[in-house]
């Protein structure tokens, strides 16, 4: 008989072969065995309502039957080719049709890779070297992206602080850091530095919303100073709306990056933009001096493309985004009701499609203000939720279309218990 391993045994094995016993993504003390619909199970058989959903890709839930059917249809035809394939071309067509800024796209494998190429593309097109990003903004793991993502020491803007070892000082010298939601700071930097190739921004920075007029203000400033605007839509693409943040907020960047949902749960991401900018991937058009080399073994993978195409097809059906927003709003209300009834200061921050709580009485508007008054409260909140069968990131809650009324009832009960635990601690 085949012997199954306990979660503790898997954790012991991980310690031997993985630094910090994990993949670097999530809490290494839990080993997920399987997922189905809105639920996941760990290796000891414990069941959870899943609000992590793979950090965003599984908007339809795990094992959606139509997505599985599309994948199973592609698998016997071939898993990867390192060559053009019909599924990838059809997915590119669907993205161009859906996303306002995308006249053409290039596929890569991860969101971080897409952001890296977007920054390089902006430099190739503009001939300028500096990049302006926002403190606390996440754009993957490239050297540029690891500047002032989560700085442990506060410095004056626009100084860039590396968040990782192994990054040369020369990278920091080419990065300018500004506070999110501060147009005056951006305007000042653009006026002072005429060698800025692009501004890269998350339209919803982690879970911090852009204030009214802020994204339009960035667009206007970029136009005024001849700077490219990059929207990092790895998270927001096909989540805030079918056309992403560009559709939701009515602001169109020059370049955007996409990931997560477009791969339907498989490794796939893309960057897209105006055709004259994307032409820098075409050596015959721009010449060797301005050509941006880009290739990847799994770029445009047909299995991932098939999964992404079917996911996008389902999302286009009437009522999907209305239902997603309704689910998110109900979850927000449940949390606020449980905490307010116990007199616990909090702010629910984000969009109904992606949000979480800050335990504070202040409104988070940027990295420095988006903090818990007492970080221990967030730790207790998330620990109780996990114990009650709610699986989420410590700083994000992703609703999915697979959620049922039973899931919501279990989640509401977990919110009440977590709020009680915080009130008991305060009392």
Residues with catalytic roles:
138, 232, 260
- H/E element, 15: helix 7-17
Closest CA to 87 of 268, 275, 258: 268
d(CA 155, CA 148): 10
The secondary element (H helix, E strand) that includes residue 173 is helix 169-173
Looking up tokens 């050596």 gives 283
CB of 225 closer than 8 Å to CB of 198: no
- Yes or no: say if 325 and 352 are a contact pair by the CB < 8 Å rule: yes
Report CA-CA distances (Å) from 328 to 108, 132, 212, 332: 30, 32, 21, 6
The angle formed by the CA atoms of residues 204, 209 and 213, to the nearest 5 degrees, is 100
In the DSSP assignment, the letter for residue 62 is: B
- Helix/strand/coil percentages in the chain, nearest 5: 40, 15, 40
Please report where in the chains the tokens 């999907």 appear, as a residue. Answer: 320
Burial class (CB in 10 A: 0-12, 13-18, 19+), 267: middle
**Cβ(139)–Cβ(232) below 8 Å:** yes
Is the link from the previous residue into 215 a cis peptide, with omega within 30 of 0?
no
Angle, to 10 degrees, between the axis of helix 86-98 and the axis of helix 302-315? 40
Angle between helices 320-340 and 302-315 (to 10 degrees): 80
How far apart are alpha carbons 108 and 358 in whole angstroms? 34
Element (H, E) at 204: strand 204-205
199's enclosing H/E stretch is strand 196-201
Q: Is 97 helix (H, G, I), strand (E, B) or coil?
A: helix
């Amino acid at each position: 008989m085949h012997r199954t391993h306990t979660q503790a045994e898997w954790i012991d094995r991980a310690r031997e072969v993985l630094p910090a016993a994990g993949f670097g993504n999530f809490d290494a003390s839990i080993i997920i065995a399987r997922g189905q619909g809105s639920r996941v199970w760990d290796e000891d058989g414990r069941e959870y309502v899943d609000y992590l959903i793979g950090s965003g890709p599984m908007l339809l839930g795990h094992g959606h039957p139509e997505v599985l059917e599309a994948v199973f249809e592609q698998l016997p035809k071939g898993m990867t080719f390192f060559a053009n394939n019909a599924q990838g071309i059809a997915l590119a067509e669907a993205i161009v049709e859906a996303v306002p800024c995308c006249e053409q796209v290039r596929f890569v494998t991860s969101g971080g890779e897409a952001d890296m190429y977007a920054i390089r593309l902006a430099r190739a097109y503009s001939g300028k070297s500096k990049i302006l990003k926002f403190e606390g903004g996440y754009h993957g793991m490239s050297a540029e992206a690891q500047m002032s993502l989560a700085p442990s020491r506060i410095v004056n803007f626009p100084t860039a602080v590396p968040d990782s070892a192994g990054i040369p000082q020369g990278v920091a010298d080419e990065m300018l850091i500004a506070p999110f939601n501060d147009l005056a700071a951006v305007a000042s930097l653009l006026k002072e530095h005429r060698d800025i190739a692009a501004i890269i921004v998350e339209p919803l920075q982690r879970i911090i919303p852009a204030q009214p007029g802020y994204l339009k203000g960035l667009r206007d400033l970029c136009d005024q100073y001849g700077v490219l605007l990059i929207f990092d839509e790895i998270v927001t693409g096909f989540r805030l709306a079918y056309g992403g943040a560009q559709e939701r907020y009515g602001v169109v960047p020059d370049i955007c990056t996409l990931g997560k949902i477009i791969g339907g749960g498989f490794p796939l991401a893309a960057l897209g933009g105006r055709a004259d900018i994307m032409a820098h991937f075409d050596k015959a058009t721009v010449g060797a001096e301005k050509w941006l080399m880009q290739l990847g073994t799994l770029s445009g993978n047909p299995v991932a493309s098939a999964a992404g195409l079917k996911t996008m097809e389902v999302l286009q059906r009437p009522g999907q985004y209305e239902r997603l927003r309704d689910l998110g709003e109900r979850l927000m209300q449940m949390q606020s009701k449980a905490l307010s009834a116990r007199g616990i200061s909090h702010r629910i921050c984000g969009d109904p499609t992606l949000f979480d709580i800050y335990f504070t009485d202040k409104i988070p508007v940027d990295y420095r203000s988006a903090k818990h008054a007492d970080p221990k409260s967030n730790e207790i909140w998330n620990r109780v939720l996990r114990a009650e069968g709610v699986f989420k990131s410590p700083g994000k809650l992703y609703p999915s279309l697979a959620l049922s009324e039973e899931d919501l009832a279990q989640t509401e009960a977990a919110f009440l218990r977590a709020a009680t635990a915080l009130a008991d601690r305060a009392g």
